[in-house]
Amino acid sequence: MSIEKPSGILAPVDWQQRTWSRAEAKHLLWRAQFGASAQEIARVHADGPAKTLARLLAPQPESTAFTAADSLLHRAAMDTGSADDLKAWWLHRLFHSANPLTEKLTLFWHNHFATSIAKVRSTAAMSTQNGLCRREALGSFRRLLHGMTQDGAMLVWLDGNANRRRHANENFAREIMELFALGEGNYSEKDIKEAARAFTGWHVREDQYWFNRAQHDEGIKTVFGKTGALGGGEVVDLCLAQKACPRFLATKLLRAFVLPQPTEAMVAALAARLRAHDFAMAAVMGELLASELFHGIQTRGTIIKGPAELALGALRALDGQPNLRTVNAVMSLLGQDIFQPATVKGWEGGRMWITSASLLQRANFAAALTGTNQLGSIQSPDARARGADTAPAAIVAHYTDLLLARPPAQESRQRLESYFADATGDGADRIRGLLHLIMAMPEFQLM
Amino acid sequence: MKTNFTRMAPGTRRSFLGRMAATGVLALGALPPLFLARAAEQNKASRDGKILVLLQLAGGNDGLNTVIPHSHTEYQRLRPSLGVGKGAVLKLNDELGLHPQLTGLKSLHDEGLLSIIQGVGYPKPNRSHFRSMDIWHSARPDEESTRDGWMGRAMDAAAAKFAGRVPALALGTDRLPLALVAQRVTVPTVKSLKDYQLSEGKGNAKDLRRRRQLIGELAQAEAKGNSDLDFLHRTASTAIQTADKIAATTTAYKPAKPYPQTGLGQRLQTLAQLITADIGPQVFFVSLDGFDTHSDQAGAHAALLGELGGAVQAFFADLKAHGLSERVMLATFSEFGRRVKENGSLGTDHGAASQMFLVSAGIKSAIHGKHPDLHNLDEGDLKHHTDFRQVYATLLEQWLDWPSEPALLGKFAQLKLA
């Protein structure tokens, strides 16, 4: 069966008719991974959109160094059972993997299926769930949803064992519908009650799913108007078949990758593609990231960065190497403690990231990153200052272009230039001061 | 593991002018000297203005075991294990007594600072924590989700009074509580004073000063729109101004007496520090969590009430020593009370109506309304006779002197505070 090409706002940009500039390359990289260095932007600019997207969407081999560090960190997390070690392991992947879009979507799915180690209390179970998210990151949401309903960490998180024949516990069924597949208002209380019965006996033993036949209710249930001796798997398929399911997912994907307030037309268009591809994520993401909608100028700099995007993005943009522990601590302070979301709803994102306190902390992150080595190292930025053009205007233009999604207002640019012109110290000191200022700007919070 | 990248840099105490310069207001050069006079005038106004502290008891406080109708036989009958005996309560009168751990509130009662509003709730009570808390915060029981809270709307309506200062502040919360979410004014959320500072970064003193000034200038909102960028500018400006003011207070304050070493005790001490420094806000929000006592309630509830009473007592002793106990009112609320009949796990389930405490030397101590009838329950829960929005209207109009109708989107009969 061939699938029709997307049209309308999701039609692919015709790059014969439009210039693929550094701005487009930067936009794509900031959305598809955690920030981008000047070299990466240059490379993607040179490669062009088709080659870049193909690389982002297809599995890339990891380097030997990466694989060695990855397995070492993972083994440590398994041996110690420490949540901090597990977080350090993932942070290393998020930052260093040769498959950045896969990692970004893994974080997206972790947030979608928000599960916390605070309750699960097993680095092994959390790692298994994380592996499922990664395997299906650019795989199939259908398989992912099915997998999650039989995931050990998830079953611990949502009290699967409390769901017994004659004592159905609605928690699991409710979250599947409300948070994982459909969103509020797209099911009835009766659907939940009946679905809960279908999941009775879906228990967890030693952090593994097991079907406790004695506790499974084999009676007749009716979910979304379909009647039969339904089991959990059938309920998952019924959820996926609901009209609301691709719409729910489309809204979340648009918010995470395109713009904070998608219109009805955008949601409908992306939902149609999710349906057309039967939730095959590589195909859907490929179309989305190539679309007129994604590359439209109105989407630039519209998403408020989450803590991972902020911290890892800054480090990546400045050719840094994160200190895995302290950067995790910063992300947690800023509200995103990976493997440990505060509630089953995950991180709501957007303006919910921002309070006056978190903005001060974001500015302090900029101060610490540019002024100390607590958070890792950034490449000494004086090379460029020694280069051809050291005029304040050129330096400021270079770094605002690297770090900000849109050009700053004229007065802001002038303020930055006047700082750089008057600052004392050597080239590196002056640039570090400038970077501190740029990253403390409200504009830097957007991507 | 905690990073120390938020440490305070030395030399952040500055004069008023210094601080104004640091926030970039002077440096822009766009403001006439009149502004300074007006700011001083406003600071004076804020000194005279009343201050309201909203204390949230999160989780659903068991009001029935807080202000106890000790003379009612029905109370002892429905609370066979959890009921507090007639002899153990701290008697307020022949009918009512406080939980034995509330010695702090009992002293405040004896000093004439404590008022109790009984039977507070709202029609068709919702028994979900999230939903009911949202209702108390939004004061719009019929709206599923609202963009702002009752105090946020009150501040928006009174926005003209706050030009140049922060009207409210949430302390110790991760998020801005819905009650304080506004459309026009921006309210800072301060998790802890220690973290609520701008660190200066690295460099020589001149460069650091310049950067500090520029961070303020770069944060300043140019546009008055509601885009995410405008929102970021507004929030950043508020954050920096507030951080400056807080930095200036940290050395001046000393508590009159030691506070209890409890979470609430420490938060109220911080509030006293902010209030004595007169940095502007007229409304403060703090929360005490853990009231969801479904099982083995007795010990946990006693500890929470002990924390509550001890902290509030210390707070008012401190305010009194600073001459502020008449200017400050503390009001408690919770999303609901608890089921009258105790459950099978020595706890209580989600209920409905409960009481609110008001504490201040600026009003006459009183017990408002009757204790809800224990024989006339709504699905096992106490019925309210006073809508919480009546209390809000009273606090806004009679205490803060702000109009209540824009906040509550309607007119509510007020209580007489006197």
Give per-residue pLDDT as tens, A296-312. 999 999 999 999 999 99
Per-residue pLDDT of chain B (418 residues; tens, 9 = 90+): 333 332 223 333 233 333 333 333 333 333 333 433 444 444 444 446 899 999 999 999 999 999 999 999 999 999 999 999 999 999 999 999 999 999 999 999 999 999 999 999 999 999 888 889 999 999 999 887 788 999 999 999 988 887 667 889 999 988 889 999 988 888 888 888 888 899 989 999 999 999 999 999 999 966 678 899 999 999 999 899 888 888 877 667 889 989 999 999 999 999 999 998 878 899 999 999 999 998 899 999 999 999 999 999 999 999 999 999 999 999 999 999 999 999 888 999 889 999 999 999 999 999 999 999 999 999 899 999 999 999 999 999 999 999 999 999 999 999 999 7
Assess contact for B283 and B179: CB atoms under 8 A: no
pLDDT at A73 over 80: yes
DSSP per-residue letters across B71-102:
T-HHHHHH-TTTPPPTTTSEESSSS-EE-TT-
Chain B residue closest in CA terms to A333: B2
Q: Cα B305 vs. chain centroid, distance in angstroms?
A: 17
Nearest to A314 by CA among A258, A262, A264, A379: A379
Question: What is the domain range of residue B368?
Answer: 51-193+253-408
Judge if B283 and B210 occupy the same domain.
Answer: no
pLDDT of residue A87: 98
Tell me, what's the pLDDT at A379?
78
List the alpha helices (DSSP H) in B120-259: 129-138, 150-157, 205-219, 228-249
Give the confidence band of A153 by pLDDT, cuts at 50, 70, 90. Answer: very high
Of A222, A242, A262, which residue is a domain's last?
Answer: A242
Give pLDDT, residue B37.
41
Give the model's pLDDT for residue B44: 45
CB distance from B222 to chain A under 8 Å? yes
pLDDT tens by residue, A396-423? 999 999 999 999 999 999 999 999 999 9
Q: CA B130, CA B299: separation in Å to the nearest integer?
A: 25
pLDDT digits (tens, 9 = 90+) for A329-356: 999 999 999 999 988 889 999 998 998 8
Token pair 């104004």 is found at B20
Sign of CA dihedral B178, B180, B185, B186: negative
Same domain, B235 and B356: no
Q: Classify residue B380: in a domain, yes or no.
A: yes
A281 and A340 part of one domain: no
Are A160 and A275 in the same domain?
A: no
Q: Decide if B201 and A443 are in contact by the 8 Å CB cutoff.
A: no
Flag whether residue B239 sits within 8 Å of chain A, measured between CB atoms.
yes
Task: Give the Cα separation of A118 and A342 in Å (integer).
Answer: 9
Q: How far are the Cα atoms of A428, B63, B81, B357, B368 from residue B75, in angstroms, in the given order?
A: 74, 12, 11, 21, 20
Do both A211 and A262 map to the same domain? no
Give a yes or no: residue A53 inside a domain. Answer: no
Contact A364 B238 (CB under 8 A): no
Q: Name the domain count of chain B.
A: 2
DSSP code per residue over A329-372: HHHHHTT--TT--SSTT----GGGG--HHHHHHHHHHHHHHHH-
CB pair distance less than 8 Å for A440 and B176: no
Is A126 in contact with A120 (CB distance < 8 Å)? yes
Pairing of strands A221-223, B283-289: unpaired
Q: What is the longest distance spanned by two Cα atoms in chain A? A: 78
pLDDT at B11: 30
Structural domains in chain A (count) = 3
**Chain B residues whose beta carbon lies within 8 Å of the beta carbon of residue A433:** 201, 203, 207, 211
B239 shares a domain with B259: no
Residues A349 and A377 in one domain: yes
Q: What are the backbone angles phi and psi of residue B362, rounded to the nearest 5°?
A: -90, -5
At A123-150, the pLDDT tens digits run 999 999 999 999 999 999 999 999 999 9
B238 with B285, same domain? no
The pLDDT assigned to A387 comes to 56
Q: Which pLDDT score is estimated for A354?
A: 92
Q: Where is B121: in which H helix or E strand?
A: strand B114-121
The mean per-residue pLDDT over the stretch A77-90 comes to 97
B327: amino acid identity, one letter: R
B222, B228, B242 ranked by CB distance to A302: nearest = B228
Q: Can you tell me the distance from the alpha carbon of B217 to that of B24, in angstroms, rounded to the nearest whole number?
A: 5
Longest dimension (CA), chain B: 74
* Residue found by looking up tokens 């879009």 in the block: A101
Q: How far is CA B226 from CA A256, A259, A351, B230, in A?
A: 20, 16, 12, 6
Question: Residue A344: what pLDDT?
Answer: 83
Residue B253 has, within 13 A of its CA and on its CB side, a CA count of 22
Query: Which domain, by its residues, includes A353?
Result: 307-445
SS3 (DSSP) at A241: helix
**What is the residue type of B409?**
L
Residues A349 and A223 in one domain: no
CB atoms within 10 A of CB A58: 12
Residues A273 and A368 grouped into a single domain:
no
User: Based on the number of CB atoms within 10 Å of its own CB, is A38 exposed (0-12), middle (13-18) or buried (19 or more)?
Assistant: middle
Find all residues with CB under 8 Å of B340, minimum gap 6, and list them.
Answer: B64, B78, B79, B351, B374, B377, B380, B381, B382
Beta bridge partners of A221: A228
- Residue B395 and residue B353 share a domain: yes
Same-domain check for residues A361 and A315: yes
Is A185 within the bounds of a domain? yes
B223–chain A Cβ distance below 8 A for any pair: no
- What residues of chain B, 151 to 210, have a C-beta less than 8 Å from chain A? 174-176, 186-191, 195-204, 206-207, 210
Considering the domain architecture, whether residues B126 and B65 belong to the same structural domain is answered as yes
Q: In Å, how far are A179, A240, A394, B103, B217 from B118, measured between CA atoms?
A: 38, 50, 68, 19, 50
Candidates A315, A292, A353, A355; CA nearest to A439 is A315
Rounded to 10°, the helix A427-439/A410-422 angle is: 150
| Residue-averaged pLDDT of chain A | 94
B340 phi-psi bin (left φ>0, alpha ψ -120 to 50, beta other): alpha
Flag whether A21 is in a domain.
no
pLDDT of residue A343: 81
Nearest-CB residue to A436 (from B201, B229, B240): B201
Nearest by CB to residue A419, choosing from B197, B210, B228, is: B210
CA-nearest of B292, B288, B291, B299 to B263 is B288
Of B231, B249, B267, the domain-final residue: B249
A210 and A266 both lie in a single domain: no
Query: Which CATH number do you get for residue B320?
Result: 3.40.720
Residues 6 or more apart whose CB falls under 8 angstroms from that of A233 comprise A146, A149
The one-letter amino acid at B129: H
| Ramachandran area for residue B29 (φ above 0: left; ψ -120 to 50: alpha; else beta) | left
Check whether A202 has a pLDDT greater than 50.
yes
A325 and A395 fall within a common domain: yes
Tell me, yes or no, whether A105 lies in a domain: no
Residues of A in contact with B171 (CB under 8 A): none
CB neighbours of residue A50 within 10 Å: 12
Structure letter (DSSP) for residue A409: P
- CA atoms of B387 and B323, how far apart (whole Å): 33
Residue A28 belongs to some domain of the structure: no
Q: Taking the CA atoms of A270, A276, A280 and A285 in sequence, report the sign of the dihedral they define.
A: negative
Same-domain status, A286 and A317:
no
Confidence class of residue A162 from pLDDT cuts 50, 70 and 90?
A: confident
Q: What are the distances in angstroms from CA A247 to CA A241, A259, A261, A269, B306?
A: 11, 15, 14, 9, 50
Instruction: Collect all residues with Cβ–Cβ distance below 8 Å to B339 and sequence separation of at least 6.
Output: B348, B349, B350, B351, B380, B381
Look at B202 and A372 and tell me if their CB atoms are within 8 Å. Answer: yes
Residues A289 and A321 grouped into a single domain: no
Residue with the two structure tokens 């050069």: B29
The pair of structure tokens assigned to B253 is 């304050």
Domain boundary (A282, A299, A316) is at A299
Residue B4 lies in a domain: no
Question: Final residue of a domain: which of A199, A224, A242?
Answer: A242
Number of Cβ within 10 Å of residue A121's Cβ equals: 14
Q: How many cross-chain Cβ pairs, A to B, lie less than 8 Å apart?
A: 150
Find the radius of gyration of the CA atoms of chain B.
23
Residue B418 belongs to some domain of the structure = no
With beta carbons under 8 A apart, name residues in chain A contacting B210. Answer: 419, 422-423
Give domain status of residue A393, yes or no.
yes
Q: Does residue B389 form part of some domain?
A: yes
- Which 3 state secondary structure label does DSSP give A443? helix
**How far away is chain A from the Cα of B89, in angstroms, using its nearest Cα?**
38
Backbone angles phi, psi at B54, to 5 degrees: -95, 120
Asked whether the beta carbons of residue B189 and residue A330 sit closer than 8 angstroms, the reply is: no
Q: Which residues of A touch B207 (CB under 8 A)?
A: 423-425, 429, 433
Q: Do residues A269 and A8 lie in contact, with contact meaning Cβ atoms separated by under 8 Å?
A: yes
Radius of gyration of chain A (CA): 23
Q: Is residue B208 domain-shared with residue B184, that is, in the same domain? A: no
Same-domain pairing of B236 and B90: no
Residue B178 DSSP one-character state: G
Task: Please state the rounded mean pLDDT for residues A268-286.
Answer: 98
Mean pLDDT over A351-364 rounds to: 92
For the CA atoms of B319, B320, B326, B330, what is the dihedral angle to 10 degrees?
40
Are A235 and A249 part of one and the same domain?
Answer: no
Q: Is residue B125 part of a domain?
A: yes
Residues in CB range of A243: below 8 A, 6 or more apart: none
Question: Could you tell me the two tokens for A394?
Answer: 């050129």
User: Cβ–Cβ of A260/B200 closer than 8 Å?
Assistant: no
**CB under 8 Å to A28, separation ≥6 — which residues?**
A44, A49, A52, A53, A289, A294
CB contact under 8 A, B3 and A375: yes
Say if residue B65 is in the same domain as residue B176: yes
Domain shared by B57 and B112, yes or no = yes
**In a domain? residue B415:** no
The verdict on residue A121 lying in a domain is: no
Same domain flag for B301 and B401: yes
Query: Do the domain assignments include residue B9?
Result: no
Q: Which residue among B206, B225, B249 closes a domain? A: B249
Residue at A235 is within a domain: yes
Mean pLDDT, residues A268-285 taken together: 98
How is residue B372 annotated by DSSP? P
- What is the C-alpha separation between A249 and B250, in angstroms, rounded? 48
Contact B235 A367 (CB under 8 A): no
Q: Which residues pair with A446 in a beta bridge?
A: A304
User: Which pLDDT value is given to residue B40?
Assistant: 43
| B211 neighbourhood in chain A, CB within 8 Å | 419, 433, 436-437
Q: How many whole angstroms separate alpha carbon B364 and alpha carbon B366?
A: 6
Is B2 within a domain? no
Of B249, B273, B291, which one is at a domain's C-terminal end? B249
